[in-house]
């Protein structure tokens, strides 16, 4: 596969990890959620200086309305569109059908409790990680008890984080990471859960422009620095990682 060829092409001494450097039909599906009005929506808030609702996910599309900072939004689908900020192609389709908002104009609404875990995940009695790709939240569980939950920026449209039941395979406290069009030096607290390079890791860059919780990666799950350190220690190799909508 292409990703394996690229891994061989990079010298081992460079300590470079490819964060889900792959493409193909298996990962080209859109991040579709249930219809408007259902519980399966991403809940967010408009950031400063506001957001424009476009008819299509493009800056050249008709503007239907302008939302002031602080307005709540619900998104039922993330799609690829015009790249306004470097690397960010994610646009959110509003669940009420009004149109699309650009990913950098919104951030997740703070929550008091984590999203409900899948019932079959509660069969684990020791530590496990729940990754909810509707809310874009990672929750650390000890059996049925949530020990912490954190917003995450998963794979963007076309590079979706792989759904399924995985396990932490290996960990690196710090490592350079590279992929299509990017190279990031010194990424911290990396927990790999797939051999193609998908991992949970600290994302400390572009936080003003791209809030944690907005899909923006090439398959990895970016979290805050403190969250990544906590998850690194909580989820040793072998810990289940359940990724689902």
Q: Do the domains spanning 2-25+111-244 and 33-108 agree at the CATH topology level?
A: no
Q: Please, which residues bridge with residue 55 across strands?
A: none
Average pLDDT over residues 185-209: 96
pLDDT over 60 at 38, yes or no: no
pLDDT band at 181 (very low <50, low <70, confident <90, very high): confident
Closest CA to 80 of 58, 55, 53, 105: 58
Q: Which CATH architecture has domain 2-25+111-244?
A: Beta Barrel (2.40)
CATH T-level topology, domain 33-108: SH3 type barrels. (2.30.30)
Give pLDDT, residue 204. Answer: 96
pLDDT tens-digit series, residues 110-134 = 999 999 999 999 999 999 999 999 9
- Mean pLDDT score, 88-97: 98
CB 14 within 8 Å of CB 174: no
What's the pLDDT score for residue 23? Answer: 29
Q: How much is the average pLDDT of 16-26?
A: 35
- Report the pLDDT averaged over residues 62-86: 97
Q: Is the pLDDT of residue 58 over 90?
A: yes
Q: How confident is the model at residue 182 (pLDDT cuts 50, 70, 90)?
A: confident
Average pLDDT of span 24-32: 29
At residue 191, does pLDDT exceed 50? yes
The average pLDDT across 83-92 equals: 95
pLDDT-above-70 percentage for the chain: 84
**HSE-CB for 57 with a 13 A CA cutoff:** 18
Q: Could you say which DSSP state residue 49 is in? A: T
H or E stretch at 54: strand 51-54
Buried b / exposed e along 87-100 (16+ C-beta atoms within 10 A): bbbbbbbbbeebbb
pLDDT for 87 equals: 86
Window from 16-20, 36-40, 111-115, 126-130 with minimum mean pLDDT? 16-20
Q: Where do the domains of the chain lie?
A: 2-25+111-244, 33-108
Residue-level pLDDT at 14:
35
Average pLDDT over residues 221-245: 98
Rg (CA), the chain: 18
pLDDT of 26 > 90? The answer is: no
Average pLDDT rounded to a whole number, residues 136-145: 98
pLDDT classification of 21: cutoffs 50, 70, 90: very low
């Amino acid at each position: 596969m292409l990703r394996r060829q690229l891994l061989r092409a990079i010298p081992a001494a460079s300590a470079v990890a490819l964060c889900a450097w792959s493409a193909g039909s298996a990962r080209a599906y859109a991040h579709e959620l249930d219809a408007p009005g259902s519980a399966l929506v991403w809940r967010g808030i408009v950031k400063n200086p506001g957001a424009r609702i476009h008819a299509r996910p493009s800056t050249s599309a008709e503007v239907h309305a302008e939302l002031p900072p602080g307005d709540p939004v619900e998104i039922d689908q993330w799609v690829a569109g015009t790249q306004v900020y470097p690397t960010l192609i994610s646009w959110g389709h509003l669940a009420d059908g009004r149109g699309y908002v650009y990913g950098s104009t919104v951030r997740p609404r703070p929550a008091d409790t984590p999203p409900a875990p899948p019932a079959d995940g509660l069969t684990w009695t020791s530590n496990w990680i729940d990754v909810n790709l509707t809310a874009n939240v990672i929750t650390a569980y000890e059996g049925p008890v949530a020990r912490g939950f954190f917003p995450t920026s998963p794979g963007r449209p076309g590079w979706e984080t792989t759904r399924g039941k995985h396990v932490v395979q290996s960990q690196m406290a710090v490592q350079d990471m590279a992929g299509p069009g990017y190279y990031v030096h010194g990424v911290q607290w990396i927990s790999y859960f797939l051999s193609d390079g998908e991992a949970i890791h600290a994302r400390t860059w572009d936080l003003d422009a791209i809030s944690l919780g907005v899909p923006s990666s090439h398959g990895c799950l970016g979290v805050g620095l403190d969250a990544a350190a906590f998850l690194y220690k909580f989820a040793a190799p072998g810990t289940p990682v359940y990724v689902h909508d």
